Amino acid sequence: SGWPVFLRQPSGAPVLVISYALLYFTVLSPHGVVLTAYLQTRHLGETPLSLFRAAGALAGVFGMSAYRLGSQRIGVRGTALIQVTLLAVAVIAAAALFGYGGIGGAREHMPRTMLAFLAMIVVSRFGLYGFDVALTQLEQMNVDERHRGLVGAIESSLCSLGTMAVFVSTMGVSAHNAASFGALVYISAAFVLAGAGCFATWCLCWHDHEHTHDTGVAEAVHETHAHTLAHERQLAASADGKTHTHLHFHPPCGRLWHHLVVHRPVSDKA
């Protein structure tokens, strides 16, 4: 029964959760054992590997600091969109370097291309960690307090599924086979791009609007669109008991959407 409650969450919360979970379907992580094993087969020594992992962690710290500064200037939503876009661009660049820079080729030592490949993965951590903090705040703002534990559990399960999928997919891939590992790199980039696209869709389709009910607060909480506890408190605190700010689904073609779907004549809905 948890999934129906999750899918009925207002404010597009399921889209936020899915956008984040998709980012876990990747082998392009400085702290991932799959990428570490592959880099060792490419004769990357222990010291460069350690520096790479440390740089990834440091980039994450900077990413979280950048989120804090950015959210104060352009808001949580705008900062999150910038950081997840940076993440996607960096991962796509890393995949391009892997495919066209010769990293996966027969030559064993390509320091410049390898350095650029690793640098893009480090940059992706800057975007990921900042986006992680931003998404947590967005979920705190928009997920119903009564269901936060449920939504958090589903999000954790989906992220764990991504991690497990990465390990399962590597069972049939030899770390010494650059071509097969390359397939994982490209699939990882596709999942990260899908996650960024999912979040961009949420930003495009869900917007804050001041909403006034025709009835009072007692009746409003039972109207067709769902309310969180925060919405109900806003209704109760408003001067007329009818007004609150609501995150509505409002796609770019909003007028057409409302004409065709929301405000159809009764005869069309029958």
Q: Please list the residues that pair with 214 across neighbouring strands.
A: none
**In one letter, which amino acid is 11?**
S
Q: What is the mean pLDDT of residues 36-47?
A: 85
CA distance 33 to 52: 13
Distance between start and end Cα atoms, the chain: 29
**Least confident range of 38-42, 64-68, 212-216, 255-259:** 255-259
Whether the per-residue pLDDT at 189 is higher than 90: the answer is yes
CA distance 120 to 249: 35
Beta-strand ranges (E) seen in the chain are 206-212, 243-249
> In the structure, what pLDDT confidence band is assigned to residue 42 with cuts at 50, 70 and 90?
confident
Q: What are phi and psi of 246, to 5 degrees?
A: -130, 140
Whether the per-residue pLDDT at 192 is higher than 60: the answer is yes
Whether the per-residue pLDDT at 201 is higher than 80: the answer is yes
Going from the C-alpha of 267 to that of each of 33, 255, 261, 270, the distances in angstroms are: 59, 20, 13, 5
Rounded percentage of the chain residues whose pLDDT exceeds 70? 73
Give DSSP secondary structure letters for 14-82: HHHHHHHHGGGS-S--TT-HHHHHHHHHTT--HHHHHHHHHHHHHHHHHHHHHHHHHHHHHHHHHHHHH
This prediction's pTM: 0.82
Here the tokens at position 158 are 């989906």
CA distance 72 to 66: 10
Whether the per-residue pLDDT at 218 is higher than 50: the answer is no
> In the structure, what pLDDT confidence band is assigned to residue 261 with cuts at 50, 70 and 90?
very low
> In the structure, what pLDDT confidence band is assigned to residue 4 with cuts at 50, 70 and 90?
confident
Q: What is the mean pLDDT of residues 183-191?
A: 94
Whether the per-residue pLDDT at 234 is higher than 80: the answer is no
Highest mean pLDDT among 114-128, 198-212, 244-258: 114-128
- Over residues 127-151, the pLDDT tens digits come to 999 999 999 999 988 888 888 899 9
CA distance 45 to 41: 10
Q: What is the mean pLDDT of residues 212-232?
A: 57
Give DSSP secondary structure letters for 240-268: SS-EEEEEEE--TTHHHHIIIIIT--HHH
All domains in the chain, ordered by first residue: 2-206 (1.20.1250.20), 213-269 (no CATH)
Here the tokens at position 13 are 């919360």
The alpha carbon torsion through 100, 106, 107, 110 (nearest 10 deg) reads: 30
pLDDT for 223: 46
Question: Under 8 Å CB-to-CB from 61, ≥6 apart: which residues?
Answer: 129
More confident of the two residues 141 and 233: 141
> In the structure, what pLDDT confidence band is assigned to residue 250 with cuts at 50, 70 and 90?
confident
